[in-house]
Structure 1
Amino acid sequence: MSDAAIDLDDVQGTILRGYRVNLARHFVLTITDPAATGKLIAALVHGDNGLPAITTARRKVPKPAIFTNMCLTATGLAALGISARQLASFDPAFQRGATDPASAATVGDVGPSAPQHWIGGLHDGARVHILLSVWATDSSDALEDASARLRAAFVGSMTELYVQDGAELPDRSVHFGYRHGIAQPAIIGAPPRKRYARDAQAPVPAGEFLLGHLNAAGGTYRVLPAELSTNSSYAVFRILEQDVAGFEAMLVRYAAETGIDTELLAANMLGRWRNGNPLTLAPAAQGTPLPDAQLNNFNFVSADPAKDDTLGLKCPIGAHIRRNNPRDAAVIGTDSAHHRLVRRSMPYGPQYDLSRHGAAGQDVAGPGQPARGLIGYFINASIRNQFEFLCSEWNRRSDFVKAATGPEGPGAGNAVYNISGEDVFLGVNDPATSSFTLAGKGPKGSANHTLRGFSRLVTTRGGVYCFFPSIKGLLFLAALQDQPAGQSQRVAASEMPAS
């Protein structure tokens, strides 16, 4: 069964395109007047009244100075007129929302990361209706001008609950020092990426990211009403604060314990050196940065002993990139093609300056540190099967790896013995129970070394489960308040969703 081509003019751009910009601003909004909000949505789609138009997946030349996209929560859709019966057809996780206790427990938003501690009013999911994101290529003036126009348009329709800015660091890294934005899925029917083009993995069906298209299981995700059921998508918006000083101190501590260089330890925990080179291709030394086209062109399993890394002797099985994309390794949950995510994130907060800190990562100027971290969207067609699955099954469990031996046989080891604990960066790590395994060659993990006793490095400061309507879907939502009473509630039998 073949899939239909993607109508790039009907898809919001951030789903299929990386904008390659330097600045971002995310508005968190609550609807105060549904009818006025509908008119504003229509104006944004068309770019009327000097407003920045909603950006589609169709590339424009020359590159615009501003990109804009909009998504809504379940309560936001309800405020605009989507009925309870229609909402019941949406992804169950989306219906719950990010602040629901079941959602929070599933993804590890507990303790200091629990929703009651979230910033900017994000703890009150009932009030979070719309996220409007604006990205600027390189001009803060363009971002401020667009923001001023939007804020003027919000008056009488929506109230701004919170705004969070992001800005790329000069070396396009995250605050932990790693180059970011490297690994993204190649999507069948989507515009090819200009960078990191080659990938050892097969392209992923469009239905893993867009409703109404075939997914990896051979079905389609659909919702009610039908107007929202094609070319729309889900996303999870996250504000993730990073404990950079804690991470640097952790590297110093374990370097002293193991005799391993701090940079090699950092590479083992992520699966890539901080310059982006994957351990699978550069296991011994960081070296000069590989060409972009080679950074993703690898797998973990091979019949050739020189290329095989089934046991995680080059890239630890518990490394962040292997947990979030096991590639061809044997794991629970079918395979990685069924659980891929598109990531659209950007750092926030000032860059961490190692020259101002002691060898153990302590701030020599005092204990206080400005907030810094990562902000953005994790995009998928099923929050439960993609985002929540990754968080709960692969990031937080060490038994997601199936028994597997490499070309040398069981005497060299088995994958199930070469991983422990949760993800170093996204796990719920407590010093009393946390662990990370550095594998050695030997049966049943006999040559392994396990690091223990580290704390959580990333704290969730906010989260939203979102729905990105198609362009036609946005116009449908914009017109709901103009329909006769009850018309939007009538659902034809042919509109029943398919899984």
Structure 2
Amino acid sequence: MSDSAIDLDDVQGVILHGYRVKLVRHFVLTITDAGATGRLIAALVRGDHGLPAITTARRIAPKPALFMNICFSASGLAALGISAQQLASFDAAFRRGATDPASAATVGDVGPSAPQHWIGGLHDGARVHILLSLWATDSHAALEDASARLRAAFTNGVTELYVQDGAEFPDRTVHFGYRHGIAQPTIIGVPRKRDAPDAQPPVPAGEFLLGHRNAGGGTYRVLPDELSSNSSYAVFRILEQDVAGFEAMLARFSAQTGIDIEMLAAKLLGRWRNGNPLTLTPTAQGAPLPDAQLNSFEFVGSDPATNDTLGLKCPIGAHIRRNNPRDAAVIGTDSTHHRLMRRSMPYGPQYDPDHPDTHARGLIGFFINASIRNQFEFLSSEWNRRDDFVKSATGPEGAAAGNAVYNISGEDFLAGVNDPASSAFTLPGKGPKGSANRTLDGFSRLVTTRGGVYCFFPSIKGLLYLAQLTAAAGAVPYQR
């Protein structure tokens, strides 16, 4: 299958497109009757019985009021009749699941973030079978009406374990105040809504869809064949954010260093809170750049005037640089081989510093990829948690100005496991072997995992295949 031959009507929409909606509701379900669940899946694919239909990647105009997609855990696929032999062909990380100790250790779900502390029954991976996500363009009434119809249909086949809502903020920011959803990969063969300059090379479709050629020149496939084309994996995360702790940390470091709070916030993320990248606007936030320019930059490049190999503009340890090093020299091939598609939205009320509260708030959504191990887990463990993933590199001025390997410390300030005794963030300066660097340290973890699921998004044809499976005689729950 070539990169251009993507059957958009066979792909679940959330994999290839952000819906740009205001509201979301994620249902966590356990299967109680496989036969009834199969009938439910078929009804959702076709939109029967007044139910909302599964959204495909074919864009609809005018924009609909609702979008819906469905995915399954390894335990959920087994409950529908996928055999242990067939499951053995799936991504190894997916088979382990998010609650497995090896998975948790790899991505930093330890301490307060460990699975035993997760909410909504998500700590029990064997019971988490289905995630059904319902997005509403802007109508609470439409979301509630569709939810009521879905819940009526759940009665015979599945039980609702948990539900988590999210709501977009008016300024498209998250709780820490940063604008989000900016840097998404351009996928070869996917029609773009608009042409926007992007300095990064397009990513082969196989990095996000099974059965298509990936960046390594191969294809990811599974058994049975009916699930092996146009399907994808995702990691669902509920990430609680300590907004008060973040603002207090910025104030403390600003007082220590004399650096403006907003500049510090930009250095930690790699972008100003309005979305402007430090690489393009290194000295002041300025007015928001046009959307077409927000992602049009590299960190190294061929022009000495814009080269930022040392991280003097955008620190090498900044969140966006760890999660997408672009053209910088790092371990693990290059960034094209480890890209993620993000579909997230804030949950909980916006924080008001004048009226502090203890409400839970954070970010909820999917990290989509065709290989959980090579994309989500690699990025989480190698680039977010290590400070030696950067290869030796000097800028246009040579070694006297510094080397990239000396200009990073600690773990990612958002995704890392940060303990005050060991946390560190380097603000690079110009000088040999990091001699002019400044280090921020002694800060706590700002993001705590409250839930997670390793998921499989079947294609539309794959969903219809699952729909006709029944609980085979003698079938047993999936065992990792």
The answer to whether the Cα contact below 8 Å between 2:4 and 2:190 also exists between their aligned partners in 1 is no
RMSD: 1.3
Residue 4 of structure 1, CA deviation: 4.8
Supply the AA of the counterpart residue of 1:343.
Answer: R
Residue 355 of structure 1, CA deviation: 3.6
Supply the AA of the counterpart residue of 1:271.
Answer: G
Corresponding residue for 1:496?
none
Corresponding residue for 1:369?
358
Q: SS where residue 364 of structure 2 aligns? A: strand
Corresponding residue for 2:73?
73
CA distance in 1, matches of 2:360, 2:140: 21
Supply the AA of the counterpart residue of 1:62.
Answer: P
Q: Does residue 1:401 correspond to 2:400, yes or no? A: no
Q: Does residue 1:421 correspond to 2:410, yes or no? A: yes
Residue 480 of structure 1, CA deviation: 1.2
CA distance in 1, matches of 2:302, 2:344: 36
Supply the AA of the counterpart residue of 2:410.
Answer: G
Q: Does residue 1:289 correspond to 2:279, yes or no? A: no
Q: Does residue 1:439 correspond to 2:428, yes or no? A: yes
Corresponding residue for 2:253?
254
Q: Does residue 1:280 correspond to 2:279, yes or no? A: yes
The answer to whether the Cα contact below 8 Å between 2:244 and 2:353 also exists between their aligned partners in 1 is no
Corresponding residue for 1:189?
189
Q: Does residue 1:475 correspond to 2:464, yes or no? A: yes
CA distance in 2, matches of 1:95, 1:136: 31
The answer to whether the Cα contact below 8 Å between 2:254 and 2:264 also exists between their aligned partners in 1 is yes
Q: SS where residue 481 of structure 1 aligns? A: coil
Q: Does residue 1:142 correspond to 2:142, yes or no? A: yes
TM superposition outliers: structure 1 runs of 4+ over 6 Å: none
Per-residue CA shift, 1:56-77, capped at 9, x if unaligned?
0000111110000000000000
* Superposition map of 1:92-103 within 5 A: 92-103=92-103
Residue 2 of structure 1, CA deviation: 4.7
The answer to whether the Cα contact below 8 Å between 2:4 and 2:188 also exists between their aligned partners in 1 is no
Corresponding residue for 1:107?
107
Corresponding residue for 2:478?
none
Supply the AA of the counterpart residue of 2:274.
Answer: N
Q: SS where residue 61 of structure 1 aligns? A: coil
Corresponding residue for 1:178?
178
Q: Does residue 1:83 correspond to 2:109, yes or no? A: no
CA distance in 1, matches of 2:412, 2:230: 33
CA distance in 1, matches of 2:16, 2:431: 44
Corresponding residue for 2:167?
167
Supply the AA of the counterpart residue of 1:231.
Answer: N
Supply the AA of the counterpart residue of 1:481.
Answer: T
Aligned residues between the structures: 475
CA distance in 2, matches of 1:33, 1:191: 39
CA distance in 1, matches of 2:159, 2:109: 27
Q: SS where residue 315 of structure 1 aligns? A: coil
Per-residue CA shift, 1:204-240, capped at 9, x if unaligned?
0000000000000000000000000000000000000
CA distance in 2, matches of 1:73, 1:194: 34
CA distance in 2, matches of 1:303, 1:337: 19
Per-residue CA shift, 1:285-317, capped at 9, x if unaligned?
000000000000000112322110000000000
The answer to whether the Cα contact below 8 Å between 2:235 and 2:454 also exists between their aligned partners in 1 is yes
TM-score by structure 2 length? 0.97
Residue 369 of structure 1, CA deviation: 1.1
CA distance in 2, matches of 1:249, 1:481: 54
The answer to whether the Cα contact below 8 Å between 2:419 and 2:444 also exists between their aligned partners in 1 is yes
Residue 191 of structure 1, CA deviation: 2.3
The answer to whether the Cα contact below 8 Å between 2:115 and 2:123 also exists between their aligned partners in 1 is yes
Residue 194 of structure 1, CA deviation: 3.9
Residue 193 of structure 1, CA deviation: 4.3
Structure 1 gap segments, 5+ residues each: 357-362, 487-499
CA distance in 1, matches of 2:457, 2:211: 13
CA distance in 2, matches of 1:207, 1:346: 25
Residue 485 of structure 1, CA deviation: 7.0
Per-residue CA shift, 1:30-58, capped at 9, x if unaligned?
00000000000000000000000000000
Q: Does residue 1:384 correspond to 2:384, yes or no? A: no
CA distance in 2, matches of 1:471, 1:403: 46
Corresponding residue for 1:359?
none
Corresponding residue for 1:309?
308
Per-residue CA shift, 1:430-462, capped at 9, x if unaligned?
000000000000000000000010000000000
The answer to whether the Cα contact below 8 Å between 1:165 and 1:348 also exists between their aligned partners in 2 is yes
CA distance in 2, matches of 1:230, 1:125: 26
Structure 2 gap segments, 5+ residues each: 475-480
The answer to whether the Cα contact below 8 Å between 2:3 and 2:188 also exists between their aligned partners in 1 is no
* Superposition map of 1:329-348 within 5 A: 329-348=328-347
TM-score by structure 1 length? 0.94
Q: SS where residue 402 of structure 1 aligns? A: coil
Per-residue CA shift, 1:236-284, capped at 9, x if unaligned?
0000000000000000000000000000000000000000000000000
